[in-house]
Structure 1
Amino acid sequence: MQLRLRTVMVCVALTSFVLACSSESTSSTPAAAAQQPVVVTPGTVPVPVATARPVPATAMNQNECVPSPSPEEIPPEVARNSSLWPLPNRDYASARANFDSNISSDTIDRLEEVWTFDLPEKTNWGAAVSNPLVIDGVVYFQDLPSNIFALDFDTGKAIWNHRGEGPSVAPNGLAVGYCKIFAAVSASEFEALDIDTGLTLWTAEIELTDHEGINIQPIVYDGLVYLSTAPRSEKGLYLGDGVGIIYALDQETGDIVWSFNTVDSDDIWGNREVNSGGGAWFPASIDTERGLTYWGVGNPGPWPGTEEFPNGSSRPGPNLYTDSVIALDHKTGELVWFNQVRPHDNFDLDFHVTPILTTERINGQDRDIAIGAGKTGTVHAFDADTGEELWVTAVGIHQNDDLTEVPIGESVVVYPGALGGVETFMAYAEGVVYVPVMNLPTTFTASSKKTESLDGTGILVAIEADTGDILWETEFDDLVVGSATVVNDLVITSVFGGTVYALNRANGEIVWSYQASAGLNAPLAVAGDTIIVPAG
């Protein structure tokens, strides 16, 4: 049987690498694409604005998506594309593992670039940070300026485009379900688009202060769309009077069903004009049996403090629920449990990475666990029902991060710094967690911080999920920002300088690499014989 491998990339663009495995055809379209809608005439950039207006029947896709009168808990698009990449972390457990792909250590050296889609705009943070989704033969992607693209999986040509209204607080991204695309199109507007045309179906205005904004790739389940806000930043510091709130919206109408404030104080710990914090930067994991959503929560501010309030003295106490894992009832938003990893954080060490849900045998008992991590540079396993911490493992360089405050008039170098530790998604497969780590320091005084440069290093760490023991570490001379993704016997990651690496996940040996034409700051997707890499 003849093999052909392709890849897809977004270099200030979106690029696709694909592996096709067929003796009769060179098509790389995934099996689920048999249900793909007829392609609408491709568009071009610059991006046209999609507006909510009736579409004539003759202009509609002949096989357009038809919403169910009684929507299923798991959206049909997610269910029928489970072998592809229908969710931000592929599945609701956020394992980021694909065993339905043709790509392995035996075939990866045959990967070749198939198409590149140029992104028309970028922000100060670049063009791409979100995870592409692959559903029914279409790649859905949102760039940082909030533009949304539906691209043909095989060719990379635009099916439709939808212009955003401006950047969200970042990161951002899409969710797909119930014949809709869900996304923030600005820092305060969240929209549902028709999956076939990109036209707006509804817009939800999230009520915010001027110092807050939507900042997340959403996730959809059981008729609800889950998203979060976070405080805005200026010159690298949170603005006062900004809090992170988690929302569940009705997928049909955009109405708010429930909200949960990740700051447990109405006056933001006593100084609303100065303090801020919380919010979820990454989408939740969802336990569909328990009916729980699991979130990592960001840090409090100001960090480390101000001239008037050094060392976070404007916000006394632990500053709940910052730097925590929280479990919320998916229907009501009721807090079921929380575990705060770092009370009264003064060093911007969010515990924000999406928890991975799995079952492990621990001390002779099968335990359902949630594995979380963050810029703390630590990985933790929690009991999924109670939040009890079962193990914790430090990864990367640690220096002075055990300080609770900085002596007045002095400065200290802290590892991990405000841009270090575990910044991006982990992956899980067969009892092992794969953790991307950035070794990057920040210099703190009692009232200021400074990250000298982005000239740091990174490691990918494999950890036993039942014990927290480290199995292997592989070092890189660049920052590992591209998350971890398991594909059969490989784990794939990428570094800030633009190189994608595939490692043998048994021992961490690098077996393949690819140099993109731009820097990498986003997770990738694997679908069938294709890797889709956002770059820029």
Structure 2
Amino acid sequence: MIVKRWKRGIATLAVTVLTATTFTAADATEAGHWCWDSWAQPNADLSGTRAVNGPINSWTAPFLRPAWSVPIKAPTDRWPGAYAATPVVVRGVVYTQDLDSNVYAIDLRTGRLLWTKMYNSHTNGPNGVAVADGMVFGATLTEAFGLDARTGREIWRHKLTRNTSEAIDMAPGLHDGTVYISTVPSFLDGGNAEGAVGVLWAIDARTGTTRWKWNTVPADLWGRPDINSGGGLWYPPTFDEKGDVYVAVANPNPFVGTEEFPWGSSRPGRNLYSNSVVKLDARTGKVIWHHQVTPHGIYDWDLQNSPILTKVRGRPVVVTSGKTGYVYVLDRATGRLLWETPVGKHNGHDDDHLLAMEGKFDELPTLPLELYPGALGGVAAPGAVDRRTVYVAVNNLSATWENQTTPSLPPLTEGRGELVALDLASGRIKWSHPLDSSPYGGTSLANDVVFTTTFDGVVHAHRTWTGTPVWQAKLPGTSNSPVAISGDTLLAASGWPQNEDERAEIVAYRLDFGWGKYAGAASARC
């Protein structure tokens, strides 16, 4: 009798959830099934919202259970492990990439590995793939590629890097037949990547030929290419209704400086377009506007997270964030700053870059300096938005700058963090919930529940209105990657085992009561 009553309760809950979830006319298929949003782009959609609808919400999230897991093939004994990507889901297939650039196609329902394309090309990430028109797009350390989505067969490959100081470590952006991939300065060999210019490439999706390219920083690197480098993208661009491209450009180097040229004095001035949001014309790559948040950056505080496109009271805006530990909202038409809000721990050095740019070295701190946010701190991975709120995961991990060139970090296991919700209209912090471990995976949204992952291998789910925890799950090991959501299934990964008991795996969690499988089937069909 208790079991029967429990089942009736679940059936009632299912009806309630289906009624309460917001749908549009496009959500129904001709067969009469609901067609949920799928995670079809690295940041869920072209606007980078990292938000989907579907049957997972704050009421149903507690019913998520492990459904399958797939081992990750890349080695796990190097920085930063084997996996740092966000999967994408297209027509019931999960596509993703490990940190050896190997590409996986996995059946969403069963976890069966459909194919693997092995590249064995190590990158720091965060990498990943994008999918459209029957093709999968991504990159190795040095080359962009296009694969057949059904078989994994390589259709084209195109080298983007000019020298060993440059690399690729991002998931591509993809819109209207064009693939967008950027190079960045490479620190894999432990050097300063001297002479590296981060270049954004716009590539024809079918052929791999170049349509245009744009230098995110000047080719002469502010007069000292023998010392300086900079720019490039960590995360994919986003795209508005007209097709214009929005990018967030990373920092200049060296940071802090060198012993001969302290405080970035080898690269005088603002160092455009580093640490900037830039709007580009998709046809030509021409800059429409830019907004630089940290001129002459000195503390490795990248503005690395994909810009998010949304509206505030009908006004189109851009939301961005990064290792500065700030969230910014800009007017989408002009790039004018509307508000900025610090999040997480800061200890009084947010404006040191301005003093350095002005040559006021005597007003800068004496090294060594313990700094918040640290080199891995602030908003380390992309945020998510709904209609009223932006959600970010903040990493409160310090860095100590022993000298001009060498920061030291505490053990990563000592990091702590916060999950923060900010009002889109004002920048006011609505709530903040502490996290016992560093969040390197950013945030993802499904209706009224926001997800993040933490370094200790925990997936967290919190109610969007209050920040109240509603569910969590322990992954097979340490995690430094986000979650993706498709229908009734949530995808997460443990990518960096810290001991022999941990495993590097992609894990699917699925709603475990009966109606969920039909919702998932509908998702697989979309």
TM-score relative to the length of structure 1: 0.82
- Distance verdict in 2 for CA 1:235–1:196, change over 3 Å: closer
Q: Which stretch has the larger CA shift, 149-158 or 121-130?
A: 121-130
1:281 aligns to 2:234 (yes or no): yes
- C-alpha separation in 2, matches of 1:344 and 1:81: 47
Q: Is the 8 A contact 2:84 2:127 kept in 1?
A: yes
- Distance verdict in 2 for CA 1:314–1:234, change over 3 Å: farther
Partner residue of 2:290 out of 338, 343, 361: 338
- Distance verdict in 2 for CA 1:353–1:149, change over 3 Å: same
Question: What's the counterpart of residue 417 of structure 1?
Answer: 374
Could you say what secondary structure the match of 2:222 adopts? coil
Partner residue of 1:118 out of 55, 71, 93: 71
- C-alpha separation in 1, matches of 2:116 and 2:57: 33
Q: Is the 8 A contact 1:293 1:327 kept in 2?
A: yes
Question: What's the counterpart of residue 299 of structure 1?
Answer: 251
1:258 aligns to 2:194 (yes or no): no
Question: What's the counterpart of residue 449 of structure 1?
Answer: 407
1:529 aligns to 2:488 (yes or no): yes
CA-CA distance at 1:447 after TM superposition: 3.9
CA-CA distance at 1:515 after TM superposition: 0.9
CA-CA distance at 1:31 after TM superposition: 9.2
Could you say what secondary structure the match of 1:233 adopts? coil
Q: Is the 8 A contact 2:99 2:124 kept in 1?
A: no
Q: Is the 8 A contact 2:250 2:303 kept in 1?
A: yes
Q: Is the 8 A contact 2:85 2:127 kept in 1?
A: yes
Could you say what secondary structure the match of 1:311 adopts? helix
Question: What's the counterpart of residue 383 of structure 1?
Answer: 331
- Structure having the higher helix fraction is 2
Q: Is the 8 A contact 2:143 2:161 kept in 1?
A: no
Question: What's the counterpart of residue 105 of structure 1?
Answer: 58
Question: What's the counterpart of residue 387 of structure 2?
Answer: 430
Q: Is the 8 A contact 1:436 1:461 kept in 2?
A: yes
TM-score relative to the length of structure 2: 0.84
Partner residue of 2:134 out of 165, 171, 179: 179
1:490 aligns to 2:445 (yes or no): no
Could you say what secondary structure the match of 2:271 adopts? coil
AA at the equivalent of 2:237: A
Could you say what secondary structure the match of 1:494 adopts? strand
Could you say what secondary structure the match of 2:391 adopts? strand
- C-alpha separation in 2, matches of 1:31 and 1:273: 58
Question: What's the counterpart of residue 239 of structure 1?
Answer: 193
- C-alpha separation in 2, matches of 1:421 and 1:237: 24
Q: Is the 8 A contact 1:237 1:302 kept in 2?
A: no
CA-CA distance at 1:381 after TM superposition: 0.6
Could you say what secondary structure the match of 2:352 adopts? coil
Could you say what secondary structure the match of 2:62 adopts? helix
Question: What's the counterpart of residue 504 of structure 2?
Answer: none
1:206 aligns to 2:160 (yes or no): yes
Q: Is the 8 A contact 2:85 2:125 kept in 1?
A: no
- Distance verdict in 2 for CA 1:469–1:408, change over 3 Å: closer
AA at the equivalent of 1:493: T
Q: What's the CA shift string for 1:38-64, capped at 9, x where partnerless?
A: xxxxxxxxxxxxxxxxxxxxxxxxxxx
AA at the equivalent of 1:139: V
Q: Is the 8 A contact 1:81 1:136 kept in 2?
A: no
CA-CA distance at 1:448 after TM superposition: 3.0
CA-CA distance at 1:291 after TM superposition: 2.2
Question: What's the counterpart of residue 403 of structure 1?
Answer: 352
Question: What's the counterpart of residue 517 of structure 2?
Answer: none
AA at the equivalent of 1:478: S
- C-alpha separation in 2, matches of 1:461 and 1:165: 37
- Structure having the higher strand fraction is 1
AA at the equivalent of 2:427: G
Question: What's the counterpart of residue 12 of structure 1?
Answer: none
Could you say what secondary structure the match of 1:398 adopts? coil
Question: What's the counterpart of residue 68 of structure 1?
Answer: none
- C-alpha separation in 2, matches of 1:306 and 1:91: 41
- C-alpha separation in 1, matches of 2:188 and 2:159: 23
- C-alpha separation in 1, matches of 2:81 and 2:494: 9
Q: What's the CA shift string for 1:468-507, capped at 9, x where partnerless?
A: 1110000112101121111122111110110111101101
1:192 aligns to 2:132 (yes or no): no
AA at the equivalent of 1:144: L
Runs of 4+ with >4 A deviation: 1-5, 234-237, 405-409
- C-alpha separation in 2, matches of 1:89 and 1:355: 10
Unmatched runs of 5 consecutive residues or more in structure 1: 6-19, 22-29, 35-79
- C-alpha separation in 2, matches of 1:282 and 1:507: 29
Q: Is the 8 A contact 1:377 1:416 kept in 2?
A: yes
Could you say what secondary structure the match of 1:269 adopts? helix
CA-CA distance at 1:165 after TM superposition: 4.0
Question: What's the counterpart of residue 314 of structure 1?
Answer: 266
Question: What's the counterpart of residue 467 of structure 2?
Answer: 508
Partner residue of 1:520 out of 472, 479, 498: 479
Partner residue of 1:373 out of 311, 315, 321: 321
- Distance verdict in 2 for CA 1:142–1:346, change over 3 Å: same
- Distance verdict in 2 for CA 1:31–1:181, change over 3 Å: farther
CA-CA distance at 1:523 after TM superposition: 1.2
- Distance verdict in 2 for CA 1:488–1:408, change over 3 Å: closer
CA-CA distance at 1:534 after TM superposition: 1.9
- C-alpha separation in 2, matches of 1:382 and 1:252: 34
Q: What's the CA shift string for 1:301-320, capped at 9, x where partnerless?
A: 00001122111111111111
- C-alpha separation in 2, matches of 1:93 and 1:344: 29
Q: Report 1:60-75 matches (<5 A).
A: none
- C-alpha separation in 2, matches of 1:511 and 1:169: 32
- C-alpha separation in 1, matches of 2:406 and 2:366: 11
The total of aligned residue pairs comes to: 460
Q: What's the CA shift string for 1:212-242, capped at 9, x where partnerless?
A: 0112101211110011110001576632111
Question: What's the counterpart of residue 176 of structure 2?
Answer: 222
